[in-house]
Structure 1
């Protein structure tokens, strides 16, 4: 079914190949760094204690196995749609449809979660610079003590406007923000290490293996950037070579920065102080230095760099919906490309509306765990897809092959399922409701509009 993935789209549905390797790697780094590290420690450290650094390693190892599987499929099937398109080509329409809905959940909720985190750092920046705080009613969701998170909605709107202008323009803006982001986090680590004390690492794992696993499950949403790289498969120059390099390169940079920040943060602040801490990294710097300027620098860097995360995850969402729409799984408005900008304008507007509602009215903790669920399910399917495609079409040209096959794909599946098991019951219930909605849409629309059943 590889030839049915829609790489060659009909008139009105073609994307332009304008993104180079450096820009694509920046996409991966931009979608990943910031999604978690700027604010996930406030929820992960209370679960794992100082052993949160082990949780990051566990999540990174799982992401590493999956990254190799992504690299093979991306170099074999270089089209828009990421895990959805890979599942469509290897496991069939029904599985691909389920994966597509998981990805819609993953990207929409991740975009909203990051927008909420951005709102926290914006509030911290305004307070540190001009002494003004946004009223709680306008900076938090109803379940978090407010009425609406207005800054989060503003961020989503700005990202949508930039995406409508074009993919290459978005990629250039993202590359600049990625450089700022990495420099700011290295700045944080340098100062935090100056206050490092080993006493903060005792007791190391107060909740044992269960706490480490639970934190790793929540943290995993921070690695969504690997999937975001592959959503650009149809807009990348020389994709069979560029995609694997960008995916693996982004993972190495991200993992290094995450471990530096997590290790230095826990060494600079007792684990008990992380819980409920908003704009946590900025607060740590202010406490360590006794001065406000380092916190201002970090908050300003976070405001700029977290923007890039929302930008890239919303980009990924529009491209997944583009691929699903082209296959008849959802209405055609998501695959209609503007003839001037060569971007799916209507689909981008629809995504912005959905993400804006989530960001404005849903608390952050629910968003984080739901993103992890969608990400882990998609990663599991990609790893299975590598095995299936090796068996069904072994002679397909592949720009990259998973080393240690079939051990690596099997380990990837095992690690993903282990982390899925560690997610809370509420997340499972919400995920079940989401899949029930997907089933209704499939029966009432997708099954009768699928391009596998109707002429292209």
Structure 2
């Protein structure tokens, strides 16, 4: 029995590395689950520390999910669905649920840092794992920069409302977006970096505080806006029919991206087999409940026709209901904290995915070097933070930010397939959580991910294709030859 969980039953033989063969066999070589778990937490020069319980893990997932979505997405979704946007949130939540069930099973079975990258490595082989990891780098890295840019906008709104001052455009936006250098975007990334360098426990504590603040801000919105609800605003409930509700649901799905963040903390959880599935499912329930509550109050307090073109919908509603700017300023403060929490947790996830890929030899070993004093991959954190900070400060993201969605959905789709494969290849492996009605539910999750991907703009597919091409070049030029599995076979 190891600290990582129960050993396989005696009748269940650990799977072995595939035999050495041609290029195809090398691309499909799998990393045994036992080896993944045995290596958990170990890096170059030190190891990650198991310091987080179910509460901290849940806060990581909520922190990565509950952010820009609820503060800006209503202005985009309500014109499609009308008051039935609440139903759209439920539909989007159910869509996310199928993939969340698959994540919960694999996180409890393979409790390591790499999230879907590691799950793919154990089930579908090295090439698919690399593609999945490359998608996650796109999802986490670019989304950190995109969210950091949004943080600067909310900071300006807060400063304007509270003090009547704003950061000059030249220092508040990147080139191409009307500015020269996005200073706030860089600052929030550096702030998150400082927390992460302090250690996983310390950054988890800071994140829990920030999550508490943003939940309080949303509950405050509901309490204040509730006084402005008019029954007539709910009729007609579905003015644009079910087609509008479905269209809004597709838009709102991206508000749920991030619930998988807890799975990147598999090697820093005290009891990962038990706590990771609980954290993933609990975070999805909390986020869905908050989204539906906020949406129901918002459309009751403001006629749905007036949401069109409104980015800061919640702040506008607070101002309309109370007739005072104070509440809008308070909500802007909550948004600033909310988005900072997203930057912190997503940056954390990015560093842990690169940690796992580095330990496998697919990216340079500097990313898996752990500082003995703090138990933090310090060089990894510095490199990723500086890269994302410069990206946020100096690059107009535009359509590139949309590519985070397709990268996420691709990774989600692979996780649903990984559950089915592992059930077939390792049926007797101990599982602390099992997806009900498998393989039906994972197949539904897979199909829903493909459907969501098909609804994205053609330019997003072009960007995604370019990113994949670069990733494959790097894999064949570096990862294929330096893979730890490759050296073990020689």
TM over 0.5: yes
Q: How far did 1:271 drift? A: 4.1
Q: How far did 1:212 drift? A: 4.5
Q: Measured at CA, do residues 371 and 215 of structure 1 come closer, stay the same or move farther in structure 2, by a change above 3 Å? A: farther
- Judge conservation of contact 2:43–2:368 (CA < 8 Å) in 1: no
Q: Measured at CA, do residues 283 and 360 of structure 1 come closer, stay the same or move farther in structure 2, by a change above 3 Å? A: farther
Stretch deviating more after TM superposition (174-183 or 212-221): 212-221
Corresponding residue number in structure 2 for 1:424: 457
Which one of the candidate residues 308, 317, 320 is aligned to 2:350? 317
Which one of the candidate residues 288, 312, 317 is aligned to 1:255? 288
Distance 1:218 1:358 in 2: 25
Distance 1:299 1:355 in 2: 24
Corresponding residue number in structure 2 for 1:39: 72
After TM superposition, the structure 1 = structure 2 runs for residues 116-155 of structure 1, keeping only pairs within 5 Å, are 116-155=149-188
**Are 1:77 and 2:110 matched, yes or no?**
yes
**Are 1:184 and 2:217 matched, yes or no?**
yes
- Judge conservation of contact 2:41–2:267 (CA < 8 Å) in 1: no
After TM superposition, the structure 1 = structure 2 runs for residues 223-262 of structure 1, keeping only pairs within 5 Å, are 223-262=256-295
**Are 1:390 and 2:386 matched, yes or no?**
no
After TM superposition, the structure 1 = structure 2 runs for residues 37-436 of structure 1, keeping only pairs within 5 Å, are 37-46=70-79, 48-197=81-230, 199-200=232-233, 212-362=245-395, 366=399, 369-436=402-469
- Judge conservation of contact 2:47–2:372 (CA < 8 Å) in 1: no
What's the secondary structure of 2:383's corresponding residue?
Answer: helix
Which one of the candidate residues 1, 14, 33 is aligned to 1:2? 33
Distance 2:241 2:457 in 1: 17
- Judge conservation of contact 2:135–2:410 (CA < 8 Å) in 1: yes
Stretch deviating more after TM superposition (383-392 or 223-232): 223-232
- Judge conservation of contact 2:138–2:404 (CA < 8 Å) in 1: yes
Corresponding residue number in structure 1 for 2:15: none
Q: Which blocks of at least 5 consecutive residues in structure 1 are unaligned? A: none
- Judge conservation of contact 1:219–1:372 (CA < 8 Å) in 2: no
Q: How far did 1:12 drift? A: 2.0
- Judge conservation of contact 2:41–2:49 (CA < 8 Å) in 1: no
- Larger radius of gyration, structure 1 or 2? 2
Stretch deviating more after TM superposition (395-404 or 249-258): 395-404
Q: Measured at CA, do residues 405 and 378 of structure 1 come closer, stay the same or move farther in structure 2, by a change above 3 Å? A: same
Distance 2:479 2:167 in 1: 44
- Judge conservation of contact 2:233–2:303 (CA < 8 Å) in 1: yes
- Judge conservation of contact 1:165–1:341 (CA < 8 Å) in 2: yes
Q: Measured at CA, do residues 209 and 91 of structure 1 come closer, stay the same or move farther in structure 2, by a change above 3 Å? A: farther
What's the secondary structure of 1:453's corresponding residue?
Answer: helix
Distance 1:348 1:439 in 2: 24
- Judge conservation of contact 2:358–2:367 (CA < 8 Å) in 1: yes
Distance 1:100 1:205 in 2: 40
- Judge conservation of contact 1:220–1:372 (CA < 8 Å) in 2: no
Q: Measured at CA, do residues 205 and 454 of structure 1 come closer, stay the same or move farther in structure 2, by a change above 3 Å? A: farther
Stretch deviating more after TM superposition (184-193 or 45-54): 45-54
What's the secondary structure of 1:144's corresponding residue?
Answer: coil
Distance 1:218 1:395 in 2: 39
Stretch deviating more after TM superposition (272-281 or 118-127): 272-281
Deviations 1:133-173 (A, max 9, x none): 22223222334333332211110111011111111100011
Q: Measured at CA, do residues 288 and 141 of structure 1 come closer, stay the same or move farther in structure 2, by a change above 3 Å? A: farther
- How many residues align structurally? 456
- Judge conservation of contact 1:116–1:359 (CA < 8 Å) in 2: yes
Distance 2:405 2:241 in 1: 21
Corresponding residue number in structure 2 for 1:438: 471
Distance 2:243 2:434 in 1: 34
Q: Measured at CA, do residues 65 and 386 of structure 1 come closer, stay the same or move farther in structure 2, by a change above 3 Å? A: same
Q: Measured at CA, do residues 364 and 198 of structure 1 come closer, stay the same or move farther in structure 2, by a change above 3 Å? A: farther
Q: Which blocks of at least 5 consecutive residues in structure 2 are unaligned? A: 1-31
Deviations 1:244-290 (A, max 9, x none): 11111111101000111122223333445445444432232112211
Distance 1:265 1:359 in 2: 31
* TM-score when normalising by structure 1: 0.93
Distance 1:119 1:254 in 2: 24
Stretch deviating more after TM superposition (162-171 or 45-54): 45-54
